[in-house]
């Protein structure tokens, strides 16, 4: 039997998580929904989410036309 989330202590709300990790409210809700409301789970999830956004941004900025062809031996 699990505790209802509303009764958990020491949890993040979307606004607090968003502000701490530089996320939007919607992104913070996704992190909380995916990782549960525990502070530790949300902190780990928020870091992973930010890293994924950075990797995605680097891939988008690189573009498709900027990939060098493989060098022949």
Using an 8 Å Cβ cutoff, are 19 and 28 in contact?
Answer: no
What average pLDDT does the segment 11-18 reach? 90
36: left (phi over 0), alpha (psi -120 to 50) or beta: left
Please name the residue that has the structure tokens 């509303």: 6
Is the pLDDT reported for residue 61 higher than 70? no
Tally of CB atoms within 10 A around 67: 8
What are the domain boundaries of the chain? 9-60
> Which runs of consecutive H residues, i.e. helices, occur in the chain?
14-21, 25-35, 39-62
What average pLDDT does the segment 11-27 reach? 92
**What is the reported pTM?**
0.65
Average pLDDT along the chain: 79
């Amino acid at each position: 039997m699990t505790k209802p989330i509303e009764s958990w202590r020491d949890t993040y709300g979307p606004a607090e998580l968003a502000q701490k990790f530089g996320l939007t409210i919607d992104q913070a809700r996704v992190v909380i929904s995916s990782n549960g409301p525990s502070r530790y789970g949300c902190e780990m999830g928020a870091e992973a989410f930010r890293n994924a956004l950075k990797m995605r941004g680097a891939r988008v900025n690189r573009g498709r036309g900027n990939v060098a062809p493989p060098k022949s031996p």
